[in-house]
Amino acid sequence: MIENATIETAAYEIMKKAAIDIPDDYLSGIKGMIDLETGDLSAFVLKAMVDNYEAATEDRRPMCADTGLPRYYVKVGNNARVDEGFVGVERSLRSATARATLDVPLRPNRVHPLWRTEHNNNVGLNAPEVEWSFEPDADWIDITTVHKGGLFGTDYRMLFPGDGVDGIKRFLLDTLIAFGKRGLACQPAIVGVGVGGSKDTCMQLGKQAACLRVVGDRNPDPKIAELELEFKELGNSIGMGAMGFVGSSMVVDCHIEAGFTHTGGMPVSVHTFCLSSRRATARVHADGRITYRTDPQWFTPYMRRESVAWQTEKADLSNTG
């Protein structure tokens, strides 16, 4: 049985870790871009960012003054039991957010959209968001926090089947150029592309692709994996680099997630996880231990299951088109 207090401790610690320590995969990605960067100013920004990450870790202070919008993704093992149930888990996540905002400190960004009132702790109406997923044959709970910055670094377009992959590329380029020119998110970013689903699923998949997959990770569908690499190259070829300066470092990596959609449409969303790609994960084990990591391991084979169980056992899905 997992105790609620353990959940609170884990959530508080990952709030701190996410705000302060840049994940290794993103850091390696940025370092790898420095040598390849063609623009002087863009290369200068990349080096300054690496210095900034190191200073944040050393001083135990947030890597960016803008906390973004802290949120949670929780993956629950099917056999996990919590002493105060899952309402207790949500209460713990809210209280850990408030405590971390005060202690780290995090900028209390969350306000009421109309009255601009706030509680000074990043907690409020529908905030922080908590998204749930499940995992068979497991008795742990994985809690991931993401502090997504780049308030405007997201866009959506309803395309049609006839637009094809070229239509997606056009939308991706339009979006990245607009974000870069208008300073809507600090690059280089991990770009997430959601394709398919309903409109809300499309947005959700794209955001999860940006925030919950590590640099270097590839989609298990080889054709989608190829597109990810192609989109990354495309994003880095528009002439804009770090922070929108002339250069070639716009995209650290690109991740695509797809969902079955209406036969008449092809919704697409684009999301950028900015220069402060803040994420941290805690696994709370059934015996009360907590282990920490930076790879959320969110998209498990169970998450991406394509069909109902009796069909996956009998049918060869690679032949279903």
Interface residues with ligand SF4 (CB under 6 A) are: 64, 66, 68, 149-150, 185-186, 274-276
For residue 14, the minimal CB distance to ligand SF4 (Å) is 17
Give every CB contact of residue 25 below 8 A, 6+ residues apart in sequence. Answer: 214, 215, 216, 294, 295
Contact of 199 with 192, CB cutoff 8 Å: no
Distance (Å, whole) CA 75 – CA 96? 17
For residue 64, the minimal CB distance to ligand SF4 (Å) is 3
Q: Residue 56 or 186: which CB sits closer to ligand SF4? A: 186
Q: Residue 183 or 239: which CB sits closer to ligand SF4? A: 183
Give the three-state DSSP class for 23: coil
Q: Residue 14 or 22: which CB sits closer to ligand SF4? A: 22
Distance (Å, whole) CA 74 – CA 252? 25
For residue 153, the minimal CB distance to ligand SF4 (Å) is 7
Give the three-state DSSP class for 254: strand
Q: Residue 231 or 273: which CB sits closer to ligand SF4? A: 273
CA dihedral 7, 9, 15, 18 (to 10 degrees): -90
For residue 30, the minimal CB distance to ligand SF4 (Å) is 12
Q: Residue 236 or 277: which CB sits closer to ligand SF4? A: 277
Distance (Å, whole) CA 213 – CA 119? 32
Contact of 251 with 235, CB cutoff 8 Å: yes
Distance (Å, whole) CA 260 – CA 189? 26
Helical H segments across the chain, by residue range:
4-20, 24-36, 40-59, 85-103, 164-182, 199-211, 222-235, 309-314
Distance (Å, whole) CA 246 – CA 239? 6
Distance (Å, whole) CA 214 – CA 160? 30
For residue 49, the minimal CB distance to ligand SF4 (Å) is 9
Q: Residue 276 or 281: which CB sits closer to ligand SF4? A: 276
In the bound state, the residue with its beta carbon closest to ligand SF4 is 149
Q: Residue 197 or 241: which CB sits closer to ligand SF4? A: 241
DSSP calls for 118-130: --SSS-BTTBS-E
Q: Residue 12 or 53: which CB sits closer to ligand SF4? A: 53
For residue 126, the minimal CB distance to ligand SF4 (Å) is 21
Residue 5 in tokens: 């207090």
For residue 278, the minimal CB distance to ligand SF4 (Å) is 8
For residue 135, the minimal CB distance to ligand SF4 (Å) is 30
